[in-house]
Structure 1
Amino acid sequence: MRITTGIVFFLFPFIIYAQNNAQYVNPFIGAINGAGKAGIYHGLGKTFPGATTPFGAVQVSPNTITGGDNGSGYSYEDSTIEGFAFTQMSGVGWFGDLGNFLVMPGTGNIKTWSGKPGDAKAGYRSHYANQQAGAGYYAVQLTDYNIKAEMTAAPHSGMMRFTFPANRQSHISIDLARRVGGTSTEQYVHVVNENTIEGWMKCTPDGGGWGNGDGRANYTVYFYAQFNKPLKDYGTWSASIPDTASRKREAIESDYYQQRIADAKIEKMAEKVQGKHLGFFSSFETKAGEQVLLKCGISFVSVEGARNNLQTELKHWDFDAAKAHAFNSWNRALSKINIKGGTKDERTVFYTALYHTMIDPRNVTDADGYYTGADQQKHRATTFQKRTIFSGWDVFRSQFPLQTLINPAVVNDMIASLVTMADESGNQYLERWELLNAYSGCMLGNPAVVVLADAYGKGINSYDKEKAYRYAVNTCGKFGNGDKGFSSAVSIANTLEYAFADWCLYKLAKETGHYADTLKYLQRSQAYKNIYDSTHHWFRPKKEDGSWEQWPATGRLTDWYGTFETNPYQQGWFVPHDINGMVDMMGGRQAVLSDLDSFFAHTPHDFSWNAYYNHANEPVHHVPYLYNALGQPWKTQYWTRTICSNAYKNDVDGLVGNEDVGQMSAWYVLSAAGLHPLNPAATTYEITSPAFEKIVIALDRHYAKAGSFTVAAKNNSSRNIYIQSATLNGKVYNKSSIDYQDILNGGKLELVMGPQPSLTWGLER
């Protein structure tokens, strides 16, 4: 089913943009778990459809499920909504987090639990219809209550508008304990006056959350919320949770725990309450069509910060004005890339992808400049904005190389945040998967070192450079192949990724003047050769003593054979820093080209989860660009255009794998624009077949000499996908790649397209 009627289009004649790009955003793309459709437990996109702003701290979105492996808290395939939260994660696997301050309007008696998804009448959840979503806006009809719910967002706050039926027992409930993948372990609420409540929710690993607690997320959400209808009949509920009770995901999903929540004690008119599982409600009588509004500031620092965030951003009660402001903020953000050509569906896929790349890393610095550090203390950000949700293993490949082009200040902030976090925590190394200061240790490799090397080489370096380098050294020392020259744990994946990180550190050492370190890390970058088995002509995992693991009957197609979420055939192509060395080791150019051709030939047409080119998972995302380096750029052009056409759709199941915090969409944005790195820490972007006839990239003048760079594809069409010739600023250009600095210098890369491969263009490197 195609979700197009649900997109909301806004037109504001008093604001003029060169292109109204935000009109094409369809937040339903990817907003489904869809494990059945995906053919794998990882599922599909796992995005959320709710309202947010570019890199904002707040995401006001529907939630359909608390537990399970669905980090956004929402899946389009679910038939009921349990409420609308103010914080969400986008496209993550594993057991998710956030989903805090869950608001649910209703009628009738107060219910203290959401109920199970298949039994809405037992709790406060509701069936729904008529979902609508656009940039900065979400709306839905809660059919069990006949209530229309609408929401919009500002960077640190959000506003909800509920249109009620005539009812003497209308109410708004707020579940303060709720958390995706678990529960907050302690809450506090204070009724400040007849329109306002404030308080906090502590989220610790004991309450599950990120990785069901294994992700070590430990944060407090502070809120300051106001109602436009006075609090004259209000109260709290408190569930009796024994001190010995587990608060992990599987415990809170149990019938025993759910019954305790359902039996929670309701207390009327209490001004201040603290407990282990609290909720708040306000009851009132409504007329038919009466609109009741709630607005809330969120902070990860303090109640005062939440209050100031709300008063700074949403002083008023004009929902439509707030919605317009959110929409316009997306129009400004999405103007970083303007495209010409393509169908309406293709433009929708492109701008929704660009939208998804600008959700994270989100800015959690309060409006007053304060943030909570890794030491759990309050700090003032003076030279950067504190950012969070660094899904390193995913996003170093495309997401950050994209942001270095269109949002270099965001990249700078993220690096400064990771360096500051290493400092404040006392750990003095760079975390690979960060969530609200947590050293979760999720996934593998040293992706922060990759992002640092990429940014520094591109002149993005307004952070403590000496500490950044020292912590990068510490990172590769703590996690790496070391003197042994290989890793025995997840042997293939770790050895290859650590070798690449060592190359990145070599590059960083050279560029920062730490010349004494260069030889050491250059030598260590060759460690990939230590796990190549010439007998089986592929990479093979080693044991701790250096002997080979037994070769399985299914060979390099064996899932999890020294790899993570992949097989050796997929993981083995990851030597982006030494393509020539890899090719020589694998038997030469023709042998590698033949193997690559077979790799793609066995890939399903729809790019669903498979044992070959598995676009649903990140480790192969660079592989189509190997053809450029191997002297057959027309195959890069063919496969990237085919992937863009077949693996991305204007549909709820329009992403073949998890969005992974912007990575899946960033691959599309760069590839559809005709530029994508093969080595994500180099300054080089590979040139491929653009999906549109013109792409204009707006450059940041703090970093670039020019205001824009254009990629133009003459005669481009779904048939004319091959580059015949090219010029750069009017001069003949025969390289299949372009340097970052040439892009920053501005101008135009003009490509002439045709229906047949050119065997002569792009052979220079």
Structure 2
Amino acid sequence: MRYCKFFILFILLSVFACKNDSKQIITDEVYKEVDFSNMVYPQLDTENSRWFFFSSACRPFGMVNLSPDNQIDGAWGSGYRYKTDTIKGFSHIHGWQISGVSVMPVTFSEENKNNIFTDFYSKFSHDNEVVKPGYHSLELQRFNIKIELTSTKRVGFHKYTFPEKSEAGILLNLNTVLGPSDNANGILKQINDKEFVGSVVATPTHRRPKDLKVFFKIALNQSVNHLQKDEETGNYMLHFKDLNTPLFMKVAISYTSEENASLNMKTELPHWDFNAVVSDSKTEWNSLLGRIKVEGNTEKQQKRFYTDLWHALQGRRTISDVNGAYPDNTGKSFRIGQLPLKEDGTPKFNHYNSDAFWGAQWTINTLWGLVYPEIYEEFTWSLLQYYKDGGLVARGPSGGNYTYVMTGSSSTPFFVSAIQKGILKNNLEYVYEALKKNHMPNGIMEKAGYEHKTQKGGGLKYYLKNGFVPHPNPEGKFGGHQDGAGLTLEYAYQDWTLAQLALKLGKKADYNYFMKRSKNYQNLFNKKIGWMQPKNIKGQWQADYSPYNYEEGFIEANGAQSTWFVPHNIPELGELMGGKDVASDKLNTQFEEAETLNFTSGTSHASELHPEYRKIPINYGNQPSIQTAFAFHKLGRPDLTQYWSRKVTSTVFGGLAPSTGYNGDEDQGLMGSLAVLMKIGLFQINGGTDADAEYQIGSPIFDKISIQLHPDYYSGKTLEILATDNNETNVFAKEATFNGKSLKEFTLFHKDITSGGVLNMKMEARDN
């Protein structure tokens, strides 16, 4: 598919909303040229997905993520599952470790009226289903009800068309297992015949250690005949009679109070025009998706691209209300926090839940930094709010609290990249001190995954004393991911990124200190075997070691994959291996071996434990080795970067079906972002944390890519990437120029890219 008249889009997109608001304005006239949201395929990989993966009736980063649930038990294998033909409810929160407010419309019969509270599931068919960003519709076959769903950021909007002359109801399943946590203590209170308020508690999980109360407000366009509470389940039923027109229902969410749930509804959805909300949602999605326009290749690949980009703009969810109130669970007792306000009384930024920033250095750092800097800046302020409240910059918050998901100080590269790119400019001394605290004793680096009450699992004291984290931890088991070699490599990289910020701020002593720590990866490189290898507390190499054994000292990876986790100094790693040529040959062999397994450990996260898949030397199904194709760049072989990145893109990120897509481990936009970057041919192996924020050029899969640059952050208007003679065979760049200047090293700098211009690449075929 090709588009002709795209220049109209960039004229219309030149008007942005205010800073810290991700919305742009695209008029309906643009839809006559292109509807980006219509190119998204939400069902991608939904056979393998988990609770927070799937989205339909939601806005970018919305508090509400309204969609049907086919499975409801557990964080994995739950939510919308494409192969399951049964609907078990429609819930409003599909977040990292959070669920809540499940509803189910029903019709009554003599057979079901006495057991409807426990027997309400319904079959459905994909043949009668429409799924788009911001909209979902299907039919409940058991009850003959047409369901239509949409939402604002904090309000779910339902439209139910019941069969004629039916006795109808809406079940509020407030006390139930729901995804990652139980919902308990559900309460519903009637205000009048059309309005209700209530709350439900999302009980603690292994990762989220405290209760989280979800408040809600319900408003209906037609009167409820009566409210019924079932004493056995504790759930509620709204009964209706003589519904001759569609029933509309609004459900507003808040994590602070019923009053704020009501305010969220009043502010965001004061009317009953369902189609207008669908249209507004479409506009908002198009305004963000439309910042990148691709031309060439196939219609299938364009659809997959916009599906990847769509994933990069969701998953991490808003937790603050329209007035800036938010849940703070970082202290000993719950409190309602208040975000700073602008002069007009609206919050300066939104506050967020988020899965880990583990791997963000190779994904959203670059994509958000280039295309969505206002989103990037807002997330840094949200993470700093956790520091103000709880004393640590979060690495994966949920329910307004730390979860200690994954390991290290993964938010440090996220901040440093934002600063190096000029996105985050103010209070840098304060930011530095906040980040530094995480890298020292009693900081977040010291905690292993989900280590809520101790600080021994991360092995930081050994890292500081001996230059590596021993494996196994001699003090015992305290959290998850206590894999010492993997921790050492991660800490070393994150220390290097903090050193770059110290240098920028003129902190020479700190710079030298963290640079010294950043070389600790060298302590685990065994020159005799050519791999990273774990050491025990005595400094002895792990016995009977194989670099192909999964999670033997390395986090969600094996030693072969993790050996390349030195993104801050690949050239030096190459020297340890015997020189750049030896290193590039070694890595090339790893890619050749990985290709036989399609570059991933199976098609789901669980498959990584498979006896064959776990031995794959490069895995693009999880974060630890997703940078490796661009490591060739730093070894003097950009041609191998172009060759293998194109191979991976086609094999791993080329499909468009429910059965595959991200191999079941799309961590809230990270793998979608990676796919986008590889397809446009721009990457930052150190996460854009160096002073110049260098980009390595890969092999774009489209003939032309146009990126609109945000005028509040960057001086340029557009970045164009042109790939002449581009096809599946011509994957190598014979030459590249930027604004007419030759790029012999196939690299660009952030300040040049964001000044606008044209990257022109002449593509050709050759032997790799």
What's the counterpart of residue 180 of structure 2? 181
Q: How does 1:433-472 map to 2 (within 5 A)?
A: 433-462=396-425, 464-472=427-435
Contact 1:495 1:528 in 2 (8 A): yes
Q: How does 1:258-297 map to 2 (within 5 A)?
A: 263-264=232-233, 278-286=234-242, 290-297=245-252
CA apart distance, 1:639: 1.4
C-alpha distance after superposition, 1:36-95 (max 9, x if no partner) = xxxxxxx78972142111222211111112223427622112221101111113xxxxxx
Match of 1:586 among 559, 577, 591: 577
CA apart distance, 1:638: 1.5
Contact 1:416 1:464 in 2 (8 A): no
Q: 1:286 to 1:588 in 2, by over 3 A?
A: farther
Q: Distance in 2 between matches of 1:560 and 1:112?
A: 48
Q: 1:493 to 1:661 in 2, by over 3 A?
A: same
Contact 2:155 2:269 in 1 (8 A): yes
Matched, 1:48 2:54: yes
Q: 1:657 to 1:183 in 2, by over 3 A?
A: closer
SS in 1 for 2:538: coil
| TM-score, normalised with respect to structure 2 | 0.84
Contact 1:106 1:124 in 2 (8 A): no
C-alpha distance after superposition, 1:195-217 (max 9, x if no partner) = 11112222231xx3xxxx33325
Matched, 1:684 2:694: yes
What's the counterpart of residue 9 of structure 2? none
Q: Distance in 2 between matches of 1:45 and 1:581?
A: 41
Q: Distance in 2 between matches of 1:51 and 1:536?
A: 52
CA apart distance, 1:377: 2.2
Q: How does 1:602-613 map to 2 (within 5 A)?
A: 602-603=593-594, 604=596, 606-609=598-601, 610=613, 611-613=616-618
SS in 2 for 1:391: coil
Q: Distance in 2 between matches of 1:362 and 1:234?
A: 32
Matched, 1:665 2:672: yes
C-alpha distance after superposition, 1:256-297 (max 9, x if no partner) = xxxxxxx43xxxxxxxxxxxxx42211123567x42111111
Q: Distance in 1 between matches of 2:50 and 2:193?
A: 44
Query: Match of 1:606, as an amino acid?
Result: N
Q: Distance in 1 between matches of 2:350 and 2:548?
A: 44
Query: Match of 2:106, as an amino acid?
Result: G
Q: 1:114 to 1:442 in 2, by over 3 A?
A: farther
Q: Distance in 1 between matches of 2:51 and 2:190?
A: 39
Match of 1:565 among 556, 575, 594: 556
Structure 1: which 5+ residue stretches go unaligned? 1-10, 34-42, 90-95, 116-121, 239-262, 265-277, 759-765
Match of 1:424 among 366, 386, 389: 389
Q: Distance in 1 between matches of 2:222 and 2:255?
A: 27
Query: Match of 1:204, as an amino acid?
Result: T
Contact 2:51 2:180 in 1 (8 A): no
Q: How does 1:13-162 map to 2 (within 5 A)?
A: 19-33=34-48, 47-70=53-76, 73-89=79-95, 97-108=97-108, 109=112, 122-129=119-126, 130-162=128-160
Matched, 1:638 2:643: yes
Q: How does 1:207-218 map to 2 (within 5 A)?
A: 208=205, 213-216=206-209, 218=211
CA apart distance, 1:147: 1.2
**Which stretch of structure 1 is more off in the superposition, 134-143 or 160-169?**
160-169
What's the counterpart of residue 6 of structure 1? none
Q: How does 1:319-358 map to 2 (within 5 A)?
A: 319-358=274-313
| TM-score, normalised with respect to structure 1 | 0.85
Q: Distance in 2 between matches of 1:291 and 1:111?
A: 25
Q: Distance in 2 between matches of 1:143 and 1:162?
A: 13
Contact 2:106 2:120 in 1 (8 A): no
Query: Match of 1:669, as an amino acid?
Result: V
Matched, 1:745 2:747: no
Contact 2:486 2:562 in 1 (8 A): yes
Contact 1:112 1:237 in 2 (8 A): no
Contact 2:70 2:78 in 1 (8 A): no
Contact 1:364 1:388 in 2 (8 A): yes
C-alpha distance after superposition, 1:577-631 (max 9, x if no partner) = 1112111111212221221111111113533413222111111110000111112
What's the counterpart of residue 190 of structure 1? 189
Contact 2:148 2:159 in 1 (8 A): yes
Contact 1:412 1:463 in 2 (8 A): no
CA apart distance, 1:113: 8.0
Contact 1:73 1:99 in 2 (8 A): no
What's the counterpart of residue 626 of structure 1? 631
SS in 2 for 1:505: helix
Q: Distance in 1 between matches of 2:571 and 2:172?
A: 59
Q: 1:407 to 1:316 in 2, by over 3 A?
A: same
Contact 1:497 1:574 in 2 (8 A): yes
What's the counterpart of residue 501 of structure 1? 494
SS in 2 for 1:101: strand
Contact 1:97 1:182 in 2 (8 A): yes
What's the counterpart of residue 271 of structure 1? none
CA RMSD of aligned residues (A): 2.2
**Which stretch of structure 1 is more off in the superposition, 645-654 or 670-679?**
645-654
Q: Distance in 2 between matches of 1:78 and 1:12?
A: 38
CA apart distance, 1:527: 0.2
Between the two proteins, the alignment pairs up a number of residues equal to 679
What's the counterpart of residue 245 of structure 1? none
Query: Match of 1:587, as an amino acid?
Result: G
What's the counterpart of residue 263 of structure 2? 308
C-alpha distance after superposition, 1:4-59 (max 9, x if no partner) = xxxxxxx99556576421110111112222xxxxxxxxx78972142111222211
Q: 1:599 to 1:550 in 2, by over 3 A?
A: same
C-alpha distance after superposition, 1:314-351 (max 9, x if no partner) = 22212111111111111111111111112111111011
CA apart distance, 1:703: 1.5
Contact 1:27 1:133 in 2 (8 A): yes
SS in 1 for 2:67: strand
Q: How does 1:214-233 map to 2 (within 5 A)?
A: 214-216=207-209, 218-233=211-226
Query: Match of 2:536, as an amino acid?
Result: K
Contact 1:370 1:381 in 2 (8 A): no
CA apart distance, 1:361: 3.2
CA apart distance, 1:234: 1.6
SS in 1 for 2:283: helix
What's the counterpart of residue 575 of structure 1? 566
Q: Distance in 2 between matches of 1:397 and 1:55?
A: 20
Q: Distance in 2 between matches of 1:26 and 1:293?
A: 27
What's the counterpart of residue 380 of structure 1? 339
SS in 1 for 2:519: helix
Contact 1:687 1:737 in 2 (8 A): yes
Contact 1:137 1:150 in 2 (8 A): yes
Q: Distance in 2 between matches of 1:623 and 1:114?
A: 52
Matched, 1:517 2:510: yes
Contact 2:416 2:501 in 1 (8 A): yes
C-alpha distance after superposition, 1:347-382 (max 9, x if no partner) = 110111111111143333322233233453231333
Query: Match of 1:101, as an amino acid?
Result: V
Contact 1:492 1:572 in 2 (8 A): no
Q: 1:44 to 1:590 in 2, by over 3 A?
A: farther
Structure 2: which 5+ residue stretches go unaligned? 1-25, 342-347, 446-459, 471-481, 602-612
Q: 1:110 to 1:295 in 2, by over 3 A?
A: farther
Percent sequence identity is 27
